[in-house]
Structure 1
Amino acid sequence: MKAFYKTIQERIKDAEQQVSLDSENAIEESRRMAILLKELLNELRTRVLTVGFQDESEEIDFFRKIKPEVQGKLLYYNKVFRIETGRPVNFGTMYQTYFLTQLHRLEENFKEHISNSEFYRYYRSDSRERDNSYFTRGKMDFNTGLQSHFFESDPLFSTYYDYKVSRIIETDLLYQYLLMRTSNDLENTRVLLSDFGNESVNWTDSKNALIELIYALHATECIGNGNIGIRKVALAFQSLFNIQLGDVHHAFHRMKYRSGSRSIFLERMKSSLEQYMDKEFM
């Protein structure tokens, strides 16, 4: 059973290495991931119904961790798809306002329905004493007042709280995504970089090349002694070079699994600099 679960996790990992949720690809790639995750969730259901669990410990692990990892990402990519298909087409004030509104809604929903709940505190503190009630099937207290989704779920493949964990995972992922999409920091960096006036300073190499450079600068701690996050550095470079980099984290994650050299741009840059130095002395 563990080998089967690991295969599912590897398939998700491999698929996400190909995902870049920037403005050009977000709709198609979020749709593709949602379809894949739905298929994997169905495979998990078939496995559970045909093979079952060896003991209660395996059942708890499945409903606390394994199923929510798949279901939470399914909810996340489906939400991204819905958000992206409803957004304004072009960058600008309407675009910025749209994503800021989405972020505000997420924060309000989190405060109202998630963060104040007893279960949220239990899950975040990694408590385990109630796991046999929360993450095994058929143990529900109707006196607590159940949310309607429970009555639509499959009792053989669900506990009430595995869905709650999935929603927590969805919220965490969506929060990071909407932070990437909002542009408060981007507007601030435009002000700081206004000394360029009307002069256009554009990045003319590939997006991956710039992302490679950004991560190299962060790794060497030469910007703010390494205390400035990747996202803020990326926003500064986006504003400086008039470019939208999209999801830099996923782009960098794919670089780590490149065949051959993983730092192609930096090696090319080093070679070009040395050639330029040699030319200067000629």
Structure 2
Amino acid sequence: MEIVLSKILLQIRHQEDKLSSQMMRTSEEAYQMTLFLKEMLCSIKTKISQTGFTDGQQEIYFFKNIKPQILGKLIYYNKVFRIETTCPVSKGKIHQSYFENLLKTLKSEYKESICNEDFYRYYRADRTDRDHTYFRLGQINYHDGLTSGVFEIDISFSTYYDNKIAHIVANELLYSYILTKINPEENPDNILLNGEAKKDISWTNSQNALIELIYALYASNSISHGKIGIRKLALIFQVLFRTPLNDIHHSFHRMKTRAGSRTAFLDQLKLSLEEYMDKDL
């Protein structure tokens, strides 16, 4: 299932890169991504309804990891489309105020409906002890006092909590997007120089590989003598490669405890460089 997730994320990034290279407006790009992700989700839903899951662990992995990534980006791009098509002006103080108010609203929603929930703390702690309750179909407990959104989901394709993770993913992407609007110097159209700005530059390895590289540069104080925080450094790479990284702290926590080498990508970089050097001998 991890291989399946990697393929899905690669398909999404490929479509993002494809649309980005066409230099269309942000609103149109967001609209096209919304259609693409909606179709992807519908296709996966049809396949699962026909074949089901091989076991409980596969079901849990799907609703905890795969579906939320697709649905999260779908929610995100739909919100970006709505934001872009209702923005009153393209620049100036009103434009700045518009996005600053959006950021305030996003932070308020986060405090009121996300961060204080037990499930949010469960998810952020990378716990697995209640996965069988949160991420298997037919396990919804209405005595938990769930929000009314529980009555709007398709119970044959949602455990309710997969939707909650999707909204966490969407909000994190939206946060990065709004910051690039508030700070023009961090906008994808301005971070690169002149004619290079619209070239198809993308990260073609895994998200974990990029996060590993970012943390290595941060830990070694290799950029601005370590004066740039990890969040801003991650944002720079996201903008540069047009690759949302979701929750890098959560991913880094998993790297610290993963089996095998904890620096798998950096190890491979060293081998690749040495092999390249040997070609000139």
1:197-234 deviation per Cα after TM superposition (whole angstroms, max 9, x unaligned) = xxxxxx7544258x99xxxxx99x8863354379979x
1:108 aligned residue: 108
Cα distance between partner residues in 2 of 1:165 and 1:224: 34
2:240 aligned residue: 248
TM-score (norm 2): 0.68
Instruction: Pick closer, same or farther for the CA change 1:34–1:105 going to 2, 3 Å.
Output: same
1:169-210 deviation per Cα after TM superposition (whole angstroms, max 9, x unaligned) = 001111111111113988xxxxxxxxxxxxxxxx7544258x
1:161 aligned residue: 161
Look up the equivalent residue of 1:248 and give its one-letter code.
L
Instruction: Pick closer, same or farther for the CA change 1:68–1:104 going to 2, 3 Å.
Output: same
Cα distance between partner residues in 2 of 1:176 and 1:2: 26
Look up the equivalent residue of 1:207 and give its one-letter code.
A
Cα distance between partner residues in 2 of 1:175 and 1:72: 13
Unmatched 5+ stretches in structure 2: 187-192, 203-216, 246-281
Look up the equivalent residue of 1:111 and give its one-letter code.
K
Is 1:207 aligned to 2:197, yes or no? yes
Instruction: Within 5 Å, give how 1:59-70 maps onto structure 2.
Output: 59-70=59-70
Cα distance between partner residues in 2 of 1:159 and 1:48: 14
Cα distance between partner residues in 2 of 1:50 and 1:30: 30
1:122 aligned residue: 122
1:150 aligned residue: 150
**Structure 1 vs Structure 2: percent identity of aligned residues?**
40
Cα distance between partner residues in 1 of 2:64 and 2:24: 35
Cα distance between partner residues in 1 of 2:146 and 2:223: 50
1:59-118 deviation per Cα after TM superposition (whole angstroms, max 9, x unaligned) = 000000000010000000000001111112321000000000001100000011001111
Higher RCO (CA 8 Å, separation ≥ 6 residues): 1
1:152-171 deviation per Cα after TM superposition (whole angstroms, max 9, x unaligned) = 21111110100000010001
Instruction: Within 5 Å, give how 1:1-282 maps onto structure 2.
Output: 6-20=6-20, 25-183=25-183, 205-208=195-198, 224-225=224-225, 227-228=227-228, 247-250=239-242
Structure with greater Cα Rg: 1
Instruction: Pick closer, same or farther for the CA change 1:184–1:10 going to 2, 3 Å.
Output: closer
Cα distance between partner residues in 1 of 2:30 and 2:177: 12
Cα distance between partner residues in 2 of 1:205 and 1:230: 29
Unmatched 5+ stretches in structure 1: 187-202, 213-217, 234-245, 254-282
Instruction: Pick closer, same or farther for the CA change 1:19–1:120 going to 2, 3 Å.
Output: farther
Number of matched residues?
219
Cα distance between partner residues in 2 of 1:231 and 1:84: 25
Instruction: Pick closer, same or farther for the CA change 1:208–1:24 going to 2, 3 Å.
Output: closer
Q: Is the 8 A contact 1:185 1:232 kept in 2?
A: no
Look up the equivalent residue of 2:137 and give its one-letter code.
R
Q: Is the 8 A contact 1:8 1:40 kept in 2?
A: no
